[in-house]
Amino acid sequence: MRSVIGQFVVLVGLLLASYPLHAAEPADSIRGTINSQLDAFQRDDWAEAFTYASPVLQKIFGTPDRFRNMVLGGYRAVYRPQQVTFRELDTSGPRPVQIVFFIGPDGLAYLAAYEMEQQQDGSWRISAVQLIRDAAKAV
């Protein structure tokens, strides 16, 4: 009896110890996708940056060049940020939304809400980004 209780305690402990690792995996993968796109922007590798957009966004924009025009026209803060800080991941809605704080090339602060979409292969793609000016000051 004592052995069964001991095994149960060990099993529960292992399950609890592994939970944060599994819970962090989507957040790590989502942040990795966003970071990979930001890195592609830094290299002006628009073909690669385009691969991190969801299939729906890829269909809407059609080509990496059109995607580039959209980014340069309305999302300069994410194109050449001075600072990037990941904040909370909101999983309360139908799709996770990663909040990211940016200091743009203009020295102004921005918050970006990245709506993410998980693909059938388990990878994450960016399905929408809302960018708003933040009242914070650059440090």
The whole-model pTM stands at: 0.80
In this prediction, residue 19 carries a pLDDT of 38
In this prediction, residue 4 carries a pLDDT of 44
| One-letter-per-residue 3-state SS of the chain | CHHHHHHHHHHHHHHHHHHHHHHHHHHHHHHHHHHHHHHHHHCCCHHHHHHCECHHHHHHHCCHHHHHHHHHHHCHHHHCCCEEEEEEEECCCCCCEEEEEEECCCCCEEEEEEEEEECCCCCEEEEEEEEEECCCCCC
pLDDT digits (tens, 9 = 90+) for 26-41: 999 999 999 999 999 9
Architecture field, domain 23-133: Roll (3.10)
- Domain extents for the chain? 23-133
pLDDT digits (tens, 9 = 90+) for 80-139: 999 999 999 999 999 999 999 999 999 999 999 999 999 999 999 999 999 999 986 655
